[in-house]
């Protein structure tokens, strides 16, 4: 067996631009307030081709625990403000009609964020149709859950294109479940972008692009990572194994060889790492692989086994419920000037 | 006050053609087997304008209790056969592509028959797209739950027209909840027609027509009455009051002035009726009104009170579940020659 | 046929004490603020036997439209305050342990208020078991949805008694769907009582008593009427027919014999009524019947027909969702001093 | 850093006895028919203490894909037969009363198998209470979903003990979601045992024992693994990495260095393995660890990170629906002699 294994150059997928760009890149601005971090990435041509994401703005709102009421209120307000800014930047007018689309499968919990949010959107388009006398400050809004190809048999982008061509909204907002590279970001990040949705997004269902290029109207996408691939957890764990063993080595205590459940363990070990010689010692050939190659190898094994698995937090049902409340409420408040509260 | 009250000519709505045509009409054929009655009405121009329903075939399958497994199996087989006949009569070819649409609101139990059925439809269109090698005898089928205008803001017929124009199916099957004139028919009748869906169908949500005229492809509609208007229960009860009092009069027993819960009470009193003089005596002016005028008066009072009520059996959640199983299974079996069982 | 029909003395059921007591009774106090009316009835021995309800306090909170956010916030605050008062009056201590029970069937929308509320209750009893260090101001709370006899096969009161005997809470709060006499009160009234739940409550499922007498701990019951019997709608309509015809007679306009959809129609006709001679003229023998006899006759006919129907507003699914939010939130806030917000 | 790392003796949990006993153990009998394998393990005292599971019978039904209708029918029949055998072996009489308990949380998909099954159980106990004239061959059956401690605040075993003491059934059947050691068994195994449920079963919620010892009536438990711990997927993947690399080594082809998606890949690599020297070469120190130590190390890292994750197939919602159909139907058929079909 050779020391180096050739692999397909197949990366584990992420929909999050923050996971792909170097934090020190000059086009990234980050600010934190009340434990909520807003990262704005202006992806231009060069980075775009490098990371395989469309040119445009990517705003990432990071937080800790959305099931806490106060955090939820604050994150909701931040999302509302960022949404208003992006609408303004796109020069969308106060009376411009909006179609909101919730992607995903309502019968599969981690993929149900889109359809659940749609259920909580205040629709008004039909009121304008019935009656020209709708209260000032209320925008014409319609909403759609197109389902997934596995349950409709129809390409989701085809359904959206057909409806857009028929009812001619002025802009689109799309909500979707995303996949992340790291379990640390699952249910803890909202990504907002003016670039729409690109092929291969979501949790394993390839779809055609839903964007300005295709629909000829602005497309704002709001997404939350709700799962990681099973390959991710394997890779994350192996990496933490290195940190863990390095930490043990550095904090060696003859009387207590085992450590478990340190307070703030994650933080403590985060900055420990083995050097490459040590990695080789601990994990042999695998330890020597570059990050990308290690991931690809794990993915190859899991794919070959035909495991169609997802890794998700145990409390996912409850979290998705709360995330859809938050997103629907922020959209309702951002779209209608005169809305009071829902 | 005058003896006769003038009324708007506003009838209580029914979607069931059998409730509108005289049973002795020569264009109606009825046969009963295993307690299931199949009534086939060929509605031609003259009757069409008289009853306000489109020209075409209306097949009504009547049964007693769908929650019984054996009845359900039999009714399912009957629906499958009638569906195959109507497909044949419309000269739809074995490889013709079908789009199935479930109308209604999944969040409102009596209106959820359409979307619930869609969840159980076997879709295959995407398999043809991915792979030309689909098993022989499997037809290309796609499925859609467009929602209701109250939750999408979009005219439902617009969504359907947009999708049909985009994906170009060869024919449509639509499933919908209906309204009936009589509580006796609620959840006990399936209506099958080649005429599609017309404005004002369903349980109170007006929609534009969904038919061959609009879509230029055959539209088969399958509907089940799941509610009656509250005016219906009032009117039915008053009519049964007449029968009840007439029965009491005819079966007068000095020793037992009250009757309750006779076996087969409904059958026993069905053929009793008061003559018009007696009706007047019992119910005064109201008793003298023609059936249509009495209904209209009741409807007027209820409408004026702004009551947006429905009358439905207490076990509706369970029955709708079973009806959607039955309809989905019959459609799956009728559309695919090679399907085994679901 | 005789003029007078003897009937079983079987009344249409109501769970609402306000529907049974004369408004002018000296034991009833009523106050209205912000369109919310709080009626406090102190039912003593004499009235108790007269109306067939247990001796105790019955507080009725009446409002208009719970789907409106602001109304919901206000009603929630009122319920919380009334709940606190009743807890104080029962001399329940701040550390007393509470078991909350949601009666009803989660699979039948109008009967799902109890179980849905339970899903939103903050339970804490297990935290006390795990850890003596629970935050001050947090009470020990547990919660239970015992289901209905039709789905468990077990008498619901037996389940509750068994659990109470085992885990020994200091007091009970029970949430249930109720039946009302008038469609005007459906989803528009919350009844709060210190008397528990008595046989025959709910929407047609007889249950044994759940009260202090049986459980030997205080039992507070919170109920909302979510349906009326179909007999109620028939009777209400006949009564409104009288008012309607009386109004027409009094506002007779030769040029416009039909009235429909007057603004505030209900209010306008409310105080119109026919005298008994006119009633007889309009509705014959039926018109002559005393209110109680008329109801009983209608009930007899419907019962004989074996119709197991309910009458409920079309938007019931949405309203029940909002009512359960409101009730759970009020209970959470009333039970825990230190709770912030959910 | 030392070569050998000391670890807490904390194993990854499994509820499946087949994962703990050597296949060649003389107390294990296995037979396969129609691609369904039935393994009967008679766990006696010695093995019991060795594997930490109660003495008794453990029957494991293994199958491939329950979403296939024909497989489902066959597995259902097998489960029914095995259930009948176990009932007979326990000398439970035809008229003995049965309480069926569905453990788990209906709001968390992989943990909802118990409550979902309960919804489909035919209960009859109340019919016996109402009427002594129940059809011969129908047994008295009641059913209960006690919820989970996180939503009730009450120890689940306390609820069950309270109900059993109150209604005094003659035997219990409990349905629960289990955890497996290997992703290969998730949703592909039904375990049936006469030993009840022991502490630490289920997917992470510790519960007290539910067994004959506690309740003094026979307790039959039916369980299906629906998740694996995230540590399992990491460990499984590392093990498959060894097999994968070994396979590559043995099937080395200079012209095609990468293999992906071989047909029957899993079977092909299953019997490949690296020797311990090779393992060390590939995975260093980790490769040298005994299976048990490797698992414990991975578990330690993941636990320290406070990740409360589960790994489950993407189609879990659909599979759980079908599994609950199957189990409920098998129980219904096994308990009632005269039942036809549901």
- Per residue in D53-110, pLDDT (tens digit) is 889 999 999 999 888 888 999 999 999 999 999 999 999 999 999 999 999 999 888 8
Average pLDDT over all residues of chain C: 82
CB within 8 Å: D154 and C161? no
| d(CA B191, nearest CA chain D) in Å | 25
How many Cα neighbours within 13 Å face the side chain of B240?
A: 26
Least confidently predicted of A59-73, A134-148, B146-160, C10-24? C10-24
Q: Which residues of chain A have a CB within 8 Å of the CB of D109?
A: 109, 317
Q: How far apart are CA A91 and CA A87, in angstroms?
A: 6
CB within 8 Å: D237 and A302? yes
Q: Is A173 exposed, middle or buried (0-12, 13-18, 19+ CB in 10 A)?
A: buried
Q: Does C142 reach chain D within 8 Å, measured CB to CB? A: yes
Q: How far apart are CA B330 and CA B120, in angstroms?
A: 11
Average pLDDT for B316-331: 94
What predicted TM-score, i.e. pTM, was given to this entire model?
0.83
DSSP-based three-state secondary structure for D168: coil
Least confidently predicted of B230-234, C192-196, D162-166? B230-234
D1, D240, D286 member nearest A283 (Cβ): D286
In the block, which residue shows the tokens 């009582």?
C193
| d(CA B269, nearest CA chain A) in Å | 47
Q: How far apart are CA B179 and CA B52, in angstroms?
A: 15
Give which of C123, C110, C206, C117 is closest to C169, Cα–Cα: C123
Q: How far apart are CA C192 and CA A324, in angstroms?
A: 33
| B119 C-beta neighbours (distance < 10 Å), count | 17
Tokens of A83: 């949404």
- Per residue in C96-130, pLDDT (tens digit) is 999 999 999 998 888 999 999 999 999 999 988 77
B and D: number of Cβ contacts within 8 A: 10
Q: Which residues of chain D have a CB within 8 Å of the CB of C129?
A: 155
**What is the band of A132 on the pLDDT scale with cuts at 50, 70, 90?**
low
Q: Does D112 reach chain A within 8 Å, measured CB to CB? A: no
Q: What angle in degrees, to the nearest 10, is found between the helix axes of A230-250 and D291-304?
A: 90
The C-alpha torsion from A186 through A192 and A196 to A200, rounded to 10°, is: -10
Residue A115 has pLDDT above 90, yes or no: yes
Beta carbons of A159 and A152 less than 8 angstroms apart: yes
Q: How far apart are CA B24 and CA B30, in angstroms?
A: 10
| C260 C-beta neighbours (distance < 10 Å), count | 13
B119, B123, B162 member nearest A153 (Cβ): B123
List D residues 259-318 in contact with A (Cβ-Cβ < 8 A). Answer: 259-262, 265-266, 269, 278-287, 297-298, 300-318
**What is the band of A267 on the pLDDT scale with cuts at 50, 70, 90?**
low
Provide the 8-state DSSP code for C134. Answer: P
Least confidently predicted of B121-130, B316-325, D131-140? D131-140
Higher pLDDT, B302 or A114: A114
| d(CA C145, nearest CA chain D) in Å | 8
Q: Which residues touch A91 (CB under 8 Å, ≥6 apart)?
A: none
Q: What is the DSSP string of A167-203?
A: H--SEEEEEEEEEESSGGGTTSEEEEESS-B-TT-SS
Q: Which residues of chain A have a CB within 8 Å of the CB of B139?
A: none
DSSP-based three-state secondary structure for D36: strand
| d(CA A25, nearest CA chain D) in Å | 29
**What is the band of D141 on the pLDDT scale with cuts at 50, 70, 90?**
very high
- Per residue in C128-151, pLDDT (tens digit) is 877 667 778 889 999 999 999 989
The C-alpha angle D173, D176, D178, rounded to 5 degrees, equals 135
Residue D295 has pLDDT above 80, yes or no: no
Residue A174: strand pairing partners: A101, A221
For an interface test with B, give the residue of D332, D333, D341 to mutate (most B CBs within 10 A).
D341
Q: Which residues of chain C have a CB within 8 Å of the CB of B244?
A: 300-301, 304
CB within 8 Å: A151 and B126? no
For an interface test with A, give the residue of C332, C336, C341 to mutate (most A CBs within 10 A).
C341
Beta carbons of C263 and C255 less than 8 angstroms apart: no
Pairing of the two strands A171-180 and A219-229: parallel
Beta carbons of C117 and C328 less than 8 angstroms apart: yes
The C-alpha angle D336, D338, D341, rounded to 5 degrees, equals 85
Pairing of the two strands D98-102 and D56-62: unpaired
- Interface predicted TM-score of the whole assembly (ipTM), two decimals: 0.83
Average pLDDT for A7-36: 78
Q: Does B153 reach chain A within 8 Å, measured CB to CB? A: yes
Beta carbons of A97 and A218 less than 8 angstroms apart: no
Q: Which residues of chain A have a CB within 8 Å of the CB of D310?
A: 311-314
Query: Exposure pattern of C134-173 as b/e (b: 16+ CB <10 Å)?
Result: eeeebbbbbbbbbbbbebbbbbbbbbbbbbbebbebebbb
Residue D39: strand pairing partners: D30, D60
Tokens of A248: 């043990």
Average pLDDT for C251-278: 59
Q: How far is CA C185 from the centre of its chain?
A: 8
**CA dist A252 → A237, A244, A247, A256, C283 (Å):** 21, 12, 8, 8, 96
In the block, which residue shows the tokens 């005997």?
C165
Alpha-carbon Rg for chain C in angstroms: 22
- Per residue in D326-340, pLDDT (tens digit) is 999 999 999 997 655
Residue C340: per-residue pLDDT: 53
The C-alpha torsion from A306 through A311 and A314 to A318, rounded to 10°, is: -100
**What is the band of B257 on the pLDDT scale with cuts at 50, 70, 90?**
very low
Tokens of B28: 């109606």
Topology of domain A7-228+314-335 in CATH is Rossmann fold (3.40.50)
Q: Does A184 reach chain B within 8 Å, measured CB to CB? A: no
Neighbors of chain C by Cβ distance (3+ pairs < 8 Å): A, B, D
Q: What is the DSSP string of D176-243?
A: EEEEESSGGGTTSEEEEESS-B-TT-SSS-----BSHHHHSS-EEEEEEEEEEEHHHHHHHHHHHHHH
Q: How far apart are CA A52 and CA A17, in angstroms?
A: 9
**Does the CA dihedral C50-C56-C57-C58 come out positive or negative?**
negative
Residue C327 has pLDDT above 60, yes or no: yes
For an interface test with B, give the residue of C261, C267, C274, C309 to mutate (most B CBs within 10 A).
C309
Residue D9: per-residue pLDDT: 34
Neighbors of chain D by Cβ distance (3+ pairs < 8 Å): A, B, C
Q: Which residues of chain B have a CB within 8 Å of the CB of A205?
A: none
Beta carbons of A104 and A167 less than 8 angstroms apart: no
Least confidently predicted of C55-64, C262-271, D24-33, D192-201? C262-271
Give which of B183, B258, B255 is closest to B14, Cα–Cα: B183
Average pLDDT over all residues of chain A: 82
CB within 8 Å: A158 and B147? no
Domain ranges of chain D: 7-228+314-335, 232-311
Tokens of C292: 């109680």
Higher pLDDT, B95 or C309: B95
Q: Which helix (H) or strand (E) holds B230?
A: helix B230-250
Q: Which residues touch D198 (CB under 8 Å, ≥6 apart)?
A: D53, D54, D209, D211
Higher pLDDT, B28 or D246: B28
Beta carbons of C157 and C210 less than 8 angstroms apart: yes
């Amino acid at each position: 067996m050779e020391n180096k294994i050739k692999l397909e150059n197949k990366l584990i997928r992420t929909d999050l631009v923050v996971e792909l760009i170097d934090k020190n890149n000059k086009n990234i601005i980050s600010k934190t307030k009340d434990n909520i971090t807003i990262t704005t990435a202006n992806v231009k041509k060069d980075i775009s081709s490098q990371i395989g994401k469309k040119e445009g703005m990517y705003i990432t709102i990071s937080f800790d625990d959305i099931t806490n009421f106060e955090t939820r209120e604050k994150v909701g307000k931040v999302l509302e403000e960022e949404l208003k800014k992006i609408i303004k930047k796109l020069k969308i007018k106060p009376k411009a009609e909006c179609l909101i689309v919730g992607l995903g499968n309502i019968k599969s919990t981690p993929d149900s964020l889109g359809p659940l949010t749609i259920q909580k959107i205040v629709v008004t388009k039909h009121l304008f149709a019935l009656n020209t006398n709708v209260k000032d400050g209320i925008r014409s809004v319609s909403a759609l859950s197109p389902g997934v190809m596995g349950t409709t048999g129809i390409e989701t982008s085809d359904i959206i294109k057909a409806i857009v061509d028929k009812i001619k909204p002025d802009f689109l907002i799309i909500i979707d479940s995303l996949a992340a590279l790291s379990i640390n970001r699952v249910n803890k990040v909202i990504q907002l972008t003016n670039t729409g949705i690109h092929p291969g997004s979501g949790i394993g269902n390839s779809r055609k692009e839903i964007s300005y290029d295709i629909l000829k109207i602005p497309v704002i996408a709001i997404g939350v990572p709700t799962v990681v691939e099973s390959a991710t957890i394997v890779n994350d764990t192996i990496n933490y194994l290195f940190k863990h063993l390095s930490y043990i080595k550095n904090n060696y205590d003859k009387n207590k060889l085992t450590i478990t459940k340190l307070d703030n363990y994650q933080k403590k070990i985060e900055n420990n790492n083995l050097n490459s010689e040590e990695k080789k010692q601990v994990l042999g050939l695998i330890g020597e692989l570059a990050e990308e190659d290690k991931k690809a190898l794990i993915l190859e094994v899991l794919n070959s086994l035909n495991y169609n698995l997802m890794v998700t937090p145990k409390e996912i049902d409850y979290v998705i419920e709360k995330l859809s409340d938050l997103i629907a409420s922020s959209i309702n408040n951002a779209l209608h000037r005169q809305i009071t509260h829902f």
